[in-house]
Structure 1
Amino acid sequence: MSRIHSVAASALGVNRRTVLAAAGAVSLSAGVGYALHPTDSQAATAEPAAGSAAPAAARPFADKSRQTAATSPTPYTQGTTVASVAAPRGGSGYRRLGDGPGWKRVVRGELAAPRPTRVVRRTALAAFVQFTDLHLTDVQHPLRLEYLRAYDQHAWRPQEALTVPGAISLVERINALRGAPVTGAPLRFVMTTGDNTDNNARSELEWFMKVMSGGRITPNSGDPQHYEGVQNSGLTLYWQPGSATRDHDKALGFPNLEGFLAAAIREVRSPGLHLPWYSTVGNHDALPLGCYGSHGDPYLTEAAIKGKKLCDAPVADARKLRAAIKKATDPEGTGYRDFLKAHTRSMRTVTADEKRAPYTQADYLKAHLDPAHQGHGPFGHGYSTANLDAGTQYYSFRISDDVIGISLDTTDPGGHYQGSIGTAQLEWLDRTLGHDKHSYAVVFSHHTSKTMTNTRPDPARPKERRHGGAEVVSVLSSHSNVLAWVNGHIHKNAITPHRASSGGSFWEISTASHIDFPQLARVIELVDNKDGTISLFTTLVESAAPHRTDYADLTQTGLAALYRELSYNAPGRIVSFVGTEADRNTELVLKKHR
């Protein structure tokens, strides 16, 4: 029986019953799949009351992914990095992109030896897609920290105005995939692993929901007709695409593109994913600017929506503010508030806009529960009203007959961009894995095991202990049914084996962001090799935008192509984000423990 498991039952010590209705056969780009539509959760006692209805089973579905290699659909590599990858063309300095050779698949056997017979015996268990770190960005937001670029080049990226058309192009790519790259199995769903938005702004949350579920989006705030941000400020610190200003980026070869800013704020349309999609929260979704536990601060809330924006600051001041963020010496944003007050006279006048206000945890959940954003489901995209009632953002769900998914909330409401989880969630994770011990499990989160180092208390639960990545690894390793921990946050492709002396071993799969080059998502396939091992295939995919840009093409597709090219050439780009060959297209082998 397919279920969405309410976290409220475990977190609060009571059961909440979620009644499921099957969506019926949903026509997916990858074939026939299914979607779950949970209704609102209702509080119940530990045992169902006499006469109460038990959770309803979803309608049976044809699990076409569970076929042997001899009868499975044809592998589908078109549009993946196995077939081709964007690659620079000639010269030095600012470089154009074109079609490059695909990346080979690397077999990794650190956790189990791959046996040659697996290729002809394997059976597909499930296949799905991971999006991570979309960072949909309201680039005109008054609280943005672009001026830190004076000290840290990576603090502002020339491509940031194009996050929305870039993300839509990624949706278009997934919609075009006709099956999984190795097994050809239907793709069951897309999971986002956080930092879906950038500034914790209501404007960005609305854009995210429409990118994923479909709709018309105007990636603009403030003046409805004109861009008002750092890219028409005349400051040489930033790329000024529509003027003759000789800025720092043009000195590196960035083009002069008249009409770029008008195109960047023009309405675009997302078809929405043709698959069900689920959501995981990241620090940029939960905290203002991704690092401040300052929800409810009246000064910063007003500053977010009012008509003043700081675009420039002295290098020494930028260095101090950057250090405070990195070292977490100002987690509640008190020093940041004082910084803004000290630079009031340097602020630019812009158009005020209430849509830029920070959104709360409840706002985030309500947006997912809004029927207007249901798309191909499931209703709530993993979240339920039980989450809303309990003030939680973690849940479990059924991926297939043999596999469950678990979405964690690793953000720390106390502030700072690194993560942790509370005791209630850690214990819930342990119980959930134990309860479903006869199913394989894939765990999703935003933070990686190594970036869960922030154990600052949650202001809403000040007495609850926070737990880091090592403790999460310990819990996962104690359950032999865990296959993988899938996450993001570090904007880098990295795959790490976790070997347990007892219990189970699993793979940690971290995927690069979609804002920094190489701008990727990842397809993950789970297969039973029928030889005592399990294989996890990982295949990276780019957006549907062409590799080669046309500067005269400022359409939605042309902007998505430019988004990739600008990200490749961004000053401060971290080349290592692409990862090694062993972190990209892989086969990850595990011992089978059930």
Structure 2
Amino acid sequence: MSRIRSVATSAAHKGREALEINRRTVLAAAGAVSLSAGIGYALRPTDSEAAPAAAEEQPVAEGRKAPAAALAPYTKGTTLASVAAPRNSSGYRRLGDGAGWSRVLRSDLAAAKSGRESRRTALAAFVQFTDLHLMDVQHPLRLEYVRVHDRHAWRPHEALTVPGAISLVERVNALRGAPVTGSPLHFVMTTGDNTDNNAHSELEWFMKVMSGGRITPNTGDPHHYEGVQNSGMKLYWQASSTVRDQDKALGFPHLAGYLAAAIREVRSPGLNLPWYSTVGNHDALPLGCYGSHADPYLVAAAVAGKKLMSVGDAEAKKLQDSIRNAQDPKGSGYRDFLKAHARSMRSVTADEKRAPYTSADYLKAHLDPAYQGLGPVGHGYSSANVAAGTQYYAFRISDDVIGISLDTTDAGGHYDGSIGSVQLAWLEKTLRENKDSYAVVFSHHTGKSMTNTRPDPAHPSDRRHTGAELVTVLNRHANVLAWVNGHIHRNLITPHKASNGNSFWEITTASHVDYPHLARIVELVDNKDGTISLFTTLIESAAPHRTDFADLSQTGLAALYRELAFNAPGASKALAGATTDRNTELVLKKA
């Protein structure tokens, strides 16, 4: 493996290194990959494509500058110091400051050697966001009515996804660096389901949350909320009215002005780090499961002035079962379901912004200069991705580490994923060509949720591969350290070891839409004793743990978002995972 340089102290070496010949500069000149410490460049998206023109290969903007001296380790602002916890034991539970989660050493793949704390050198550090699920809660094609059968199919906090996500951005901006090493954070990576329903409105909100801007999380009537929460139906939390609904019977409060506040303009400062993007099934597929972009009825229904809000239990169960069992991947059954209930729909204000976006739209939004923030240009994607219709790429994280972002959504439909043969071959080639660098792989789906091998309608001959097959490929390459993903809304860390002795950690992080609303910092260090350690540290948003029902400010709504999610009927209390899946040190043998 290549010469290691400390990320934390890289600034101190710039003068000396300016006199050195960096072998990676030679590789860049040869067309392999452009590299620079702390600055990333996208690599080729497919084997067959030429590299983008030189004018298009713009480096990412640098994040925080490395300090003159290394930052000290810290815990403030992380779940090591404190985690939101309930203050009362029954009914609707109010949150407050709880005890932090300690760090757990995991030596499943290699023994931890004593004295490594004083020897280790930082390789890279980054933040993972996943499953933000920014929601246009008034969208006509949402399935809130399934709550009559499954009470967690609609959640009382869903109108607050935007202020909740902004508060997470504010938390990252307040971090002093990497908690264990104190080294600067290189970037933020989102691992998919950035939006909830593949709507243009949601995509615009996501881009502004990440890069900065003013956001009005409202569609339809510009002055009033129009959806299930002012429907008068007892099935949903009627927060702003005195209706005695199902949720109020459980202790949910009456909050006058809540809906007006939920659709009011908010402001995101944007990340003060570069950020990269990985696509998820909710980004690529309407409702996260239907390969129905070409269905004219569903496209028209998305922007139309009619919304279904109530069905019977049996019908709701049938629809949910068809989704869970992948019986309707193209959405034709869903289309017929809506047609059959046309007379039961309520009138709402039509809005073109709710139209579904295509993969090309997704890529172009990332390349839009209006959403560049601190970069990089395209946030990992390039004009070559647009030309080829691909949503995967590789990039340089630091001198000794590359990142690889995969597209594991199956365009054939259904929420579980897979990977095509062409992309898998590109992955192998990228790992081989960068065998002197460590690699961190990013995707939306986990290994066990990649079981959907339906053909991609646009590429029917491109065979789909499961997560188990992807694990086999990754285990063939000694430079792979980690596979970072989301999708299952739960913290889980899985060791993978092959018979050839290669090993890596699969790091799965909980969502930011279901409690406990987490993101994760990952630090890579060389222990200088033949092992590598990966430190994972979970963070919550910057919103205070305690809520004030009278505070409907942007910050107050972000705090309420967390507390409502904790109390959501039917919500799992196990999504934080075991202590071994949270704040950890993960040890690997160094190749």
Q: Is the 8 A contact 2:194 2:282 kept in 1?
A: yes
User: Structure 2 CA distance, aligned partners of 1:91 and 1:175?
Assistant: 34
User: Structure 2 CA distance, aligned partners of 1:489 and 1:250?
Assistant: 30
Tell me the CA shift for residue 153 of structure 1.
Answer: 1.4
Q: Which residue of 2 aligns with 1:498?
A: 496
* One-letter amino acid of the structure 2 residue matched with residue 347 of structure 1: M
Match of 1:4 among 28, 41, 58: 41
Q: Which residue of 2 aligns with 1:556?
A: 554
Q: Which residue of 1 aligns with 2:534?
A: 536
User: Structure 1 CA distance, aligned partners of 2:584 and 2:149?
Assistant: 38
Match of 1:577 among 575, 578, 584: 575
* One-letter amino acid of the structure 1 residue matched with residue 41 of structure 2: I
* One-letter amino acid of the structure 2 residue matched with residue 385 of structure 1: S
Tell me the CA shift for residue 9 of structure 1.
Answer: 4.3
Q: Is the 8 A contact 1:7 1:392 kept in 2?
A: no
Are 2:554 and 1:565 aligned? no
* One-letter amino acid of the structure 1 residue matched with residue 78 of structure 2: T
User: Structure 1 CA distance, aligned partners of 2:72 and 2:212?
Assistant: 29
Q: Which residue of 2 aligns with 1:293?
A: 291
Q: Which residue of 1 aligns with 2:385?
A: 387
Unaligned runs of 5+ in 2: 1-34
Q: Which residue of 1 aligns with 2:342?
A: 344
Q: Is the 8 A contact 2:49 2:384 kept in 1?
A: no
Give 1:413-492 correspondences, 5 Å limit: 413-492=411-490
Aligned-partner SS, 2:202: helix
Q: Which residue of 1 aligns with 2:23?
A: none
User: Structure 2 CA distance, aligned partners of 1:21 and 1:168?
Assistant: 27
Q: 1:79-130 CA deviation, whole Å, 9 max, x = no partner?
A: 1000100000023011000000100000000000001111110000010000
Tell me the CA shift for residue 493 of structure 1.
Answer: 0.2
Q: 1:111-162 CA deviation, whole Å, 9 max, x = no partner?
A: 0000111111000001000000000000000000000111111110000000
User: Structure 1 CA distance, aligned partners of 2:229 and 2:580?
Assistant: 38
Tell me the CA shift for residue 22 of structure 1.
Answer: 4.2
Are 2:55 and 1:32 aligned? no
Tell me the CA shift for residue 318 of structure 1.
Answer: 0.3
Tell me the CA shift for residue 77 of structure 1.
Answer: 1.6
1:22–1:392 CA distance, 2 compared to 1 (3 A): closer
Give 1:289-368 correspondences, 5 Å limit: 289-368=287-366
Tell me the CA shift for residue 4 of structure 1.
Answer: 2.9
Q: 1:273-292 CA deviation, whole Å, 9 max, x = no partner?
A: 00000000000000000000
Aligned-partner SS, 2:574: helix
Q: Is the 8 A contact 1:478 1:503 kept in 2?
A: no
Tell me the CA shift for residue 23 of structure 1.
Answer: 5.7
Aligned-partner SS, 1:406: strand
Tell me the CA shift for residue 576 of structure 1.
Answer: 1.2
State the aligned residue count: 553
* One-letter amino acid of the structure 1 residue matched with residue 496 of structure 2: H
Tell me the CA shift for residue 7 of structure 1.
Answer: 3.6
Give 1:240-279 correspondences, 5 Å limit: 240-279=238-277
Aligned-partner SS, 1:32: coil
Q: Which residue of 1 aligns with 2:280?
A: 282
Match of 1:217 among 212, 215, 218: 215
Q: Is the 8 A contact 2:52 2:383 kept in 1?
A: no
Q: Is the 8 A contact 2:106 2:587 kept in 1?
A: yes
Tell me the CA shift for residue 547 of structure 1.
Answer: 0.2
User: Structure 1 CA distance, aligned partners of 2:493 and 2:152?
Assistant: 24
Return 75-84 or 371-380, whichever deviates more. Answer: 75-84
Q: 1:548-591 CA deviation, whole Å, 9 max, x = no partner?
A: 00000000000000000000000011111110000000000000
Q: Is the 8 A contact 2:59 2:376 kept in 1?
A: no
Q: 1:390-438 CA deviation, whole Å, 9 max, x = no partner?
A: 0000000000000000000000000000000100000000000010000
Q: Is the 8 A contact 1:8 1:16 kept in 2?
A: no
Aligned-partner SS, 1:380: helix
Tell me the CA shift for residue 265 of structure 1.
Answer: 0.1
Q: Which residue of 2 aligns with 1:43?
A: none
User: Structure 2 CA distance, aligned partners of 1:8 and 1:107?
Assistant: 36
Q: Which residue of 1 aligns with 2:148?
A: 150
User: Structure 1 CA distance, aligned partners of 2:173 and 2:252?
Assistant: 32
1:7–1:331 CA distance, 2 compared to 1 (3 A): farther
Q: Which residue of 2 aligns with 1:41?
A: none
User: Structure 1 CA distance, aligned partners of 2:529 and 2:45?
Assistant: 39
1:349–1:21 CA distance, 2 compared to 1 (3 A): closer
Aligned-partner SS, 1:470: helix
Q: Which residue of 2 aligns with 1:370?
A: 368
Aligned-partner SS, 2:362: helix
Unaligned runs of 5+ in 1: 34-61, 65-70
User: Structure 1 CA distance, aligned partners of 2:45 and 2:557?
Assistant: 43
Q: 1:447-472 CA deviation, whole Å, 9 max, x = no partner?
A: 00000000000010011100010110
1:18–1:458 CA distance, 2 compared to 1 (3 A): farther
1:9–1:252 CA distance, 2 compared to 1 (3 A): closer
Match of 1:127 among 125, 128, 143: 125
* One-letter amino acid of the structure 1 residue matched with residue 487 of structure 2: H
Tell me the CA shift for residue 18 of structure 1.
Answer: 5.2
Aligned-partner SS, 2:310: coil
* One-letter amino acid of the structure 2 residue matched with residue 80 of structure 1: T
User: Structure 1 CA distance, aligned partners of 2:436 and 2:45?
Assistant: 23
User: Structure 2 CA distance, aligned partners of 1:7 and 1:408?
Assistant: 13
Q: Which residue of 2 aligns with 1:118?
A: 116
* One-letter amino acid of the structure 2 residue matched with residue 425 of structure 1: Q
**What is the percentage of aligned positions where both structures have the same residue?**
73
Are 2:171 and 1:173 aligned? yes
Q: Is the 8 A contact 1:453 1:469 kept in 2?
A: yes
Q: Is the 8 A contact 1:367 1:373 kept in 2?
A: yes
User: Structure 1 CA distance, aligned partners of 2:87 and 2:45?
Assistant: 53
Q: CA RMSD in A?
A: 1.2
* One-letter amino acid of the structure 2 residue matched with residue 570 of structure 1: A
Q: What's the TM-score, normalizing by structure 2?
A: 0.92
User: Structure 1 CA distance, aligned partners of 2:427 and 2:150?
Assistant: 38
Q: 1:474-520 CA deviation, whole Å, 9 max, x = no partner?
A: 01000000000000000000000001111520000000000000000
Tell me the CA shift for residue 353 of structure 1.
Answer: 0.1
* One-letter amino acid of the structure 1 residue matched with residue 395 of structure 2: F
User: Structure 2 CA distance, aligned partners of 1:342 and 1:316?
Assistant: 15
Q: Which residue of 1 aligns with 2:79?
A: 81
Aligned-partner SS, 2:170: helix
Are 2:405 and 1:407 aligned? yes
Aligned-partner SS, 2:536: strand
User: Structure 1 CA distance, aligned partners of 2:84 and 2:41?
Assistant: 38
* One-letter amino acid of the structure 1 residue matched with residue 88 of structure 2: G
Q: Is the 8 A contact 1:146 1:156 kept in 2?
A: yes
User: Structure 2 CA distance, aligned partners of 1:94 and 1:581?
Assistant: 26
Give 1:39-58 correspondences, 5 Å limit: none
Q: 1:8-36 CA deviation, whole Å, 9 max, x = no partner?
A: 441x3655455544467x4x4xx406xxx
Tell me the CA shift for residue 5 of structure 1.
Answer: 4.0
* One-letter amino acid of the structure 2 residue matched with residue 499 of structure 1: K
User: Structure 1 CA distance, aligned partners of 2:212 and 2:49?
Assistant: 37
